[in-house]
Amino acid sequence: MATMTIDKAGPTRKVKYGSMSRDRAWALRWSYFFLVIFVIFFLTPPVYMLITSLKSSAEISAATNPWWVSRPTLDNYVALLTSNQFLRFFWNSAIVSILVVSITMLIAVPAAFALSRMRFWGSTILGTGVFLTYLIPETLLFIPLFKLFVVFSDWTGIQLINRWYVLLFIYPTLTVPFCTWIMIGYFASIPKELDEAAIIDGASWFQTLTRIFIPVALPGLIAATIFAFTVSWAQFLYPLVFTTSTDQLVMPVGIITTLIKGDVFNWGQIMTGALLGAAPPLIIYAFLMDYYIAGLTAGATKG
């Protein structure tokens, strides 16, 4: 993404700013310099993963140039994509992420609307409280949470631990507070007159939310969706703790637990799995980025 932007902007900017002051020319050069460093820094790991994923195990362990593939092979891809186990991980990850995103949005959007617009007693404190819960690290939470589910299962006999759907209860503790916070910010940027106009036009609070706020705050909604999806897709600690059977694992944990056997690391397949795992968020970003950037509030009010 980043490199593309630079290529596009480069020539036109040079022409456009041909006569600009030296200061600005230098500022631009420096920004390109740092952008290039930035791009190299962040693109090196995925490139290395791609290279490794195209090598056979023998070539990986051989003392050759690690940045070069002498005999490229798709064996790793074929092995993973034909493995029922890997497809199961992928499916678990997908279903968990999609459901978590849905649950998160169903909770976070109305919560943010209530906290930002329906002024009620304690709404400000509640708003801050929502954000504070996000600040508690998961490493502190996973043991008490585990205990909680154990107690729950003792009381009710309903076993949630070591079931993929236990994650549907846990991930929202990470995603809901942050998404609520993002949406509060977006809703707050919508001019007050817009909901007043809707109320006078005869809309209920719910209609104001669904017909005015959600469409107008779509960029925010998409940002929150991307966030919730990324968090659920990449979550590692919670699924590692709460799920153990191979048919219940999600991809990040599945790859690690099945492709590392004792001290034997199947690097080729690990890299391939990681690359394949990174694809869905990447595709989602690519599709939603334009919406995300487009400012939909333009024209609502003056300015």
Partner 1 sequence: MAEVSLRKVVKRYDEVEAVRGIDLDIADHEFVVLVGPSGCGKSTTLRMIAGLEDISDGDILIGGDVVNDVPPKDRDIAMVFQNYALYPHMTVAENMSFGLRLKRYPKAEIKARIDEAARMLDISELIDRKPKQLSGGQRQRVAMGRAIVRNPKVFLFDEPLSNLDAKLRVQMRIEIKKVHQKVRTTTVYVTHDQVEAMTLADRVVVMNHGRIEQIGTPNELYHNPATRFVASFIGSPAMNFIPCQLEDAAGKLQVRLTDKLAFPLPPARASRYQKISRSDKLLLGIRPEHVTEASAHIEPGVEPFNATLDVTEPMGMETLIYFNMHGAQVCGRVSPNAGAQDGAPLRLAVDLNNMHLLNEVTGAVL
In the complex with partner 1, the residue whose CB is nearer, 22 or 302, is: 302
Residue 119 binds partner 1 (CB under 8 A): no
Q: Which residue in this structure is represented by tokens 């593309």?
A: 4
Residue 188 binds partner 1 (CB under 8 A): no
Cα gap 32→6, rounded to integer Å: 8
In the complex with partner 1, the residue whose CB is nearer, 293 or 298, is: 298
Cβ 222 to partner 1 shortest distance, Å: 14
Residue 121 binds partner 1 (CB under 8 A): no
Q: Cβ(160)–Cβ(166) under 8 Å?
A: yes
Please list, in sequence order, all residues whose beta carbon lies within 8 angstroms of the beta carbon of residue 259, skipping any fewer than 6 positions away: 265, 266, 269, 270, 273
**Which of 122, 144, 202, 262 is close enough to bind partner 1 by CB under 8 A?**
202
215-234 residues near partner 1, rule: CB under 8 A:
215-216, 218
- Which of the stretches 21-29, 181-189, 201-209, 270-278 binds partner 1 when contact is defined by CB under 8 A? 201-209
- Which of the stretches 20-28, 66-74, 100-108, 204-212 binds partner 1 when contact is defined by CB under 8 A? 204-212
Cβ 248 to partner 1 shortest distance, Å: 42
Residue 144 binds partner 1 (CB under 8 A): no
Cβ 283 to partner 1 shortest distance, Å: 26
User: CA of 284: how far to CAs of 48, 215, 220, in Å?
Assistant: 23, 19, 15
52-59 LR contacts (CB < 8 Å, sep 24+): 52/267, 52/268, 52/271, 53/77, 53/268, 53/271, 53/272, 53/275, 55/268, 56/268, 57/266, 57/267, 57/268
Q: Which amino acid is at 261?
A: K
Q: Which residue in this structure is represented by tokens 């002024």?
A: 119
Q: Cβ(104)–Cβ(172) under 8 Å?
A: yes
Alpha carbon 215 to its chain's center:
21
**Which of 105, 182, 198, 274 is close enough to bind partner 1 by CB under 8 A?**
198
**Which of 191, 219, 280, 281 is close enough to bind partner 1 by CB under 8 A?**
191
**Which of 79, 199, 256, 278 is close enough to bind partner 1 by CB under 8 A?**
199
Q: Which amino acid is at 25?
A: A
Angle at 20 between CA 17 and CA 24, to 5 degrees: 95
In the complex with partner 1, the residue whose CB is nearer, 134 or 205, is: 205
Residue 212 binds partner 1 (CB under 8 A): yes
Summarize as ranges the residues that interact with partner 1 (CB under 8 A): 191, 193-194, 196-204, 207, 211-212, 215-216, 218, 296-302
